[in-house]
Amino acid sequence: MSEKKNIIDDHHSHDHAHSHLPSDPELRVKAVETLLLNKGLIDSKTLDELIDTYENRIGPKNGAKVVAKAWVDPEYKKRLLNDATSAIRELSYQGRQGENMVVVENTPKTHNVIVCTLCSCYPWPVLGIPPTWYKSDEYRSRTVREPRKVLLEFGLSLDPKVQIKVWDSTAEIRYLVLPMRPKGTENMNESELSELVTRNSMIGTGLPKEIK
């Protein structure tokens, strides 16, 4: 029996500790946070550092630089499609929730879309913390069954002849979409190009910005 100690017994789920928490979520967090701080199990400076990191330093701008580099440097693109984790590490993006990266390339014939139906797996080092819609029940339930309808809600209408590949992140591989380079950008440099790369275009629910 002892080896089963980690199993939650569903029959006792009404006794779950969380049922003692206050109904206001703000108070709920405050209670648990204060308790852990006072027990010395967490440090407030660590919380500040974590939040600052993902609010200000790690986000879709990282992924945009990866994409722009792949657009201008065919050798880099080859490395990126062959071993994304290493190629992304060349730009110093690595680590938590990006330990095993795979980059999937959009072409005139194939459009890729990323989802996590079981939870909210997302490539943190290149895209940051997932947006609310990515974590929503609606996106998680519908994207694998009706990706074309889902994409329409993002304003993206695909030719019926284009094959859609939906990647459901069911393990610890994290996916990034390499969108197609927009037309008319031949004279733009890497840094200008990265400004065109939207977060949604790297998830597959959008396209890069067009040149006006």
Question: Applying CB under 8 A, does 173 fall inside the site for another protein?
Answer: yes
Instruction: Give the one residue of 65, 66, 103, 139 binding another protein; rule: CB under 8 A.
Output: 139
Question: Applying CB under 8 A, does 211 fall inside the site for another protein?
Answer: no
Instruction: Give the one residue of 61, 91, 135, 182 binding another protein; rule: CB under 8 A.
Output: 135
**Shorter beta-carbon distance to another protein: residue 47 or 184:** 47
Question: Applying CB under 8 A, does 157 fall inside the site for another protein?
Answer: no
Residues between 187 and 206 with contacts to another protein, criterion CB under 8 A: 198-200, 206
Given 119, 136, 141, 191, which residue is catalytic?
Answer: 119
Structure-token pair, residue 136: 């929503």
Angle at 162 between CA 138 and CA 207, to 5 degrees: 60
Number of residues that bind another protein (CB under 8 A): 98
**DSSP readout, 56-80?**
IISSHHHHHHHHHHHHH-HHHHHHH
Number of H helices, E strands in the chain: 11, 4
- d(CA 93, CA 63) in angstroms, rounded, equals 9
Q: Is 146 exposed, middle or buried (0-12, 13-18, 19+ CB in 10 A)?
A: exposed
| Residue 65 CB, nearest approach to another protein (Å) | 16
Structure-token pair, residue 163: 């094959």
Sole window of 66-74, 75-83, 168-176, 186-194 interacting with another protein (rule: CB under 8 A): 168-176
Question: Applying CB under 8 A, does 163 fall inside the site for another protein?
Answer: yes
